Amino acid sequence: MAFGWIDEQAELRRTAGLVRTLRPRPADTPLLDLASNDYLGLARHPEVTEGAARAARTWGGGATGSRLVTGTTELHTELERELAEFCGFEAALVFSSGYAANLAAVTALAPHGSLVVSDAGNHASLIDGCRLARGATQVVAHRDPDAVRKALDGHEGPAVAVSDTVFSVDGDAAPLAALAEACREHGAGLVLD
């Protein structure tokens, strides 16, 4: 049977206690959610939900296509213009998720022949970005600027170090100043999530 191994693998995961199940939450719950990405608690804020409802009534329920084809609306460009102005930058680009943003950043900043130095504790989105990048990836010890230095030593050509700022699995923070210094010493870029 072509896919007979699936049942075997499922049983191994079940036996190891690695089976995860969806636990749908109700629309309104008294529980405090400490596992979401709604860090500021704005997902249910009345102004946010009313703004989303207004936008859906005006623009519809979806972008209708990719940003490059038909999916970019005046609303997207207005948001990006306002974000850039608010942050003091020349331009901004909004992605549908942080995952998509990390894929884009790493693949765009790691051209062919480059070295991508990735922290061993990075989020899956950064790891996938490294896999999709056209450069060579070297995984280094978690939160170790000296390991980044060692990986960059002797590399000719473009290089970029990639790290979470706060690692989602264990909650520890990257040594940002030391990482930045290691990259400066070697003329490498630094991409932080």
Cβ-defined contacts of 97-106 (< 8 Å, 24+): 98/37, 98/125, 98/193, 99/124, 99/125, 99/128, 102/126, 102/128, 102/129, 102/193, 103/128, 103/129, 103/132, 104/129, 105/129, 105/191, 106/130, 106/132, 106/133, 106/160, 106/162, 106/191
| Confidence check: pLDDT of 191 > 90 | yes
186-to-92, 105, 117 alpha-carbon distances in Å: 28, 20, 12
| Confidence check: pLDDT of 28 > 90 | no
Question: Sorting pLDDT into bands at 50, 70 and 90, what band is 37?
Answer: confident
- What is the pLDDT, as a whole number, of residue 52? 94
Side-chain half-sphere exposure of 7, counting CA atoms within 13 A: 4
Side-chain half-sphere exposure of 118, counting CA atoms within 13 A: 23
Phi, psi (degrees; rounded to nearest 5) at 115 = -110, 130
More confident: 141 or 112: 141
| Confidence check: pLDDT of 126 > 90 | yes
Q: What average pLDDT does this structure show over 175-192?
A: 98
- What is the pLDDT, as a whole number, of residue 2? 84
Q: What average pLDDT does this structure show over 102-130?
A: 96
Which region holds residue 154: left if phi is over 0, alpha if psi is between -120 and 50, else beta? left
Q: What average pLDDT does this structure show over 140-148?
A: 98
The string of pLDDT tens digits covering residues 6-25 is 999 999 999 999 999 998 98
User: Distance between CA atoms of 168 and 172, rounded to whole angstroms?
Assistant: 8
User: Distance between CA atoms of 130 and 145, rounded to whole angstroms?
Assistant: 18
- What is the pLDDT, as a whole number, of residue 36? 81
- What is the pLDDT, as a whole number, of residue 91? 97
| Confidence check: pLDDT of 1 > 80 | no
Q: Which pair of structure tokens corresponds to residue 117?
A: 């130095």
User: Distance between CA atoms of 116 and 128, rounded to whole angstroms?
Assistant: 12
- Side chain identity, residue 142: H
**For residues 179 and 161, is the Cβ–Cβ distance under 8 A?**
yes
Q: What average pLDDT does this structure show over 36-57?
A: 91
| Confidence check: pLDDT of 168 > 90 | no
Minimum mean pLDDT range among 31-35, 48-52, 77-81, 126-130: 31-35
User: Distance between CA atoms of 86 and 167, rounded to whole angstroms?
Assistant: 27
Mean pLDDT of the chain: 93
